[in-house]
Structure 1
Amino acid sequence: MLPLNTIRENADTLVRALAKRGLDAQPMIDEVLELDQQRRDVQTRLDATLAEANQLSREIGNLFKTGKAKEAQELKARSGELKELSKELSEALNTAAEALQQALYQLPNAPHDLVPAGSSETDNEVVFQSGETTAAGGEALPHWELAAKYNLIDFELGVKITGAGFPVYKGRGARLQRALISYFLDRNTESGYEEVQVPHLVNEASGYGTGQLPDKEGQMYELRDDKLFLIPTAEVPVTNMLRDVIVERAQLPLRYTAYTPCFRREAGSYGAHVRGLNRLHQFDKVEIVRVEEPANSYQALDEMVAHVKALLESLQLPYRILRLCGGDLGFTSALTYDFEVWSAAQERWLEVSSVSNFEAFQANRLKLRYRDANNKPQLAHTLNGSALALPRILACILEDYQEAEGIRIPDVLVPYTGFDRIG
């Protein structure tokens, strides 16, 4: 959520920035400023009414003390009127504050200056590429055929148990999946991220805190009777650990990593491009989250990008990094870098990670602050990234490492799998 003082002081700048998203934000900004003025007007009236009531209460007390009961009784009638008025104004203030809050929830984050203008993923900028992107040739099999050939993943069994998009990993497929999780967690903790295990269900306040609600409500699985949501990413519970917290400056930066399953409805996702592991309703992911002072957050973003690069290079998979344009930028993000791995068998790029700086957008919703050099609470900056999402990494390992006699395991994973080949 954009800080209200930022909207008041930089309305024109925000409108220009949000235009990068293809959004005409002027009506939304105008509505926020109008609702803010209404709320402040009601607050001013309420403060004046309460001040008059307090003054009147003192006068009534003094009149009773001095034996002027008649005069005191006359003033009590006015006191009753002020009490009723203050009640009405308090209710009006709550209504105005709620309307303002809902209007603020509708405004996405302002893109950073580095974000290119554009309307879709075709306008994203390639900022780095590593490895060859040649086709594997007619003999190469896509991962769903390799999974069936070597009995690694059973997609049909998942359909039987739950439905499409819920695969069952078996044998060495399950072992390879577990190896990737352990490897990513080990690399993250070695780089200074504290490992945490978090709930896979969150409440509504957590969804609002990190911006999944109300923006992505239809994409989340909801347990309506309990008012809980299955997490779409570990970012949600991990970042919400710090909701309503003031962090001491000396504690920063805070760095966390977590493995969780992730659940996404992915409504409307059909076609060959979502076959196999390409898009799932349940998948495993290892996440990294950072909380930083604002002055350090973009250096932190660069460090997170470098960390994910190192993970992909250690797996020796061809990959590229995209800087997302305004039209493809997530609702809460100020700047996002996507990582895509080349699938030689499918002859296409597959997204495996997003690394984002949210600046103060999430922190403002979370009321996550730190004490600055003057011991004054200020909004922190939050960042997160996938390090890494497993399905497409696993798909690319199967496809890019396939050989005539089987599938070779990347060297860095062999200590985790206990085998160096499938087949």
Structure 2
Amino acid sequence: MSQNPEAHRRPVDVIVLGAGMVGVSTALAARRRGLEVVLLDRREPGRETSYGNAGIVSSGSVLPLNHPGLWKSLPGYLGNRHPALRYDPFHLIRTMPWSIAFLAHATPVGARRRSTALHGLLQASLALHRRWIREAGAERRLRETGWLKAWRSDSLEPAKREQAALAEFGIGSEILDRQAISGLEPDITPVYAVGLLHTQTASVDSPGEVVAAYAAMFAREGGRIEKTQIQSLSKQGDLWTVETEAGPLTSRHVVVALGPWSADLLRPLGYRVPLGFERGYHREFRAASDRSLRRPIHDVERAFVITPVENGVRVTSGVELAPRDAPSRLDQIEAATAAAQGVLPLGEALGEVWRGARPTLPDSLPAIGPAPRHPGLWLGFGHQHIGFTTGPGTGEALAAMMAGEQPPFDVASFRPARVL
């Protein structure tokens, strides 16, 4: 953190607000274009939403959350007991316009267009991840073992449908039977009858530490990281001013990459961002000494992911629709943990349950690009479940647009003006 008062008075080229995967990636990509960049967050890089995911660097997350198959699942969610989705009824009533808009996007034509857009973002991001993690000296954290979606029921149809959807975009996968699953993961209890191995997907043992490694690389290359509370954002003439606890900073460009807190900062500028919050939980455990996990496994019916991490095993829950800052409700993660125990014995719990809020826009696509009414204001948020994967592609696109260059993928579907 800079202690030089002059640094807070002299304008810089770019201020990036938010040091999660998206913000760090944007700062790094902008710095590599020769721009003077300051990265701001109230916490150390990678300590908020980017910390708590399953660490999957996914090639296959091309299906938007609100795809046409969602309609068949809705009746099962109404009882508010399904492991994939829990909700606060009063919150749903208050946010009904968001829910209606979310469901309205679940059409075949719209889903295909959005899948095509996501594929471009994912491909650009995976290539950058594989390059950056090596350049950052953190390649030991990367596992090229794929990830496994697994079903307890005998039907092959769900796996075949997903494999066909992936194949449309040239994404490789393998359907596995019980014996093949045991061959890949010999230490788990053989509860799964069908599996789909995403062969072109990677994972990491600590998503927070990967973000921190990218941030350290940004700092080594001349970027500046400030740990301070961000208070407000305003524009005077051609310059943006960010008020912080440490004093004001000014810049020609400012990037809002604050994840679930982005809408709060933009509201005084006249933007009403339709941002939903998909809360999720995880808990970590020591691995049992005689049994291990080789890759993340998504248990489809029980709606949890169990993944090997640096300190042992992490179990992540399904979605909770509730106010961003409401008190935690632990029933969902407790049910996920109990189900995970039946797959792999879990050792001692490490620390407390973690909770985060995935920021989601009604069409399940992030906002990537310029704000519609304020030149020099750039937005990068709303990445729902795939922000860790897609941060590098988002950052590269934003930096390219700021520099007047062509982004590495088609950004038309991600333009912020579509929701503002």
TM-score range, shorter chain: under 0.3
TM-score by length of 2: 0.24
Structure number with higher helix proportion: 1
Considering Cα pairs closer than 8 Å and 6+ residues apart, tell me whether 1 or 2 has the greater RCO: 2
Which protein is bigger by CA-based radius of gyration? Answer: 1
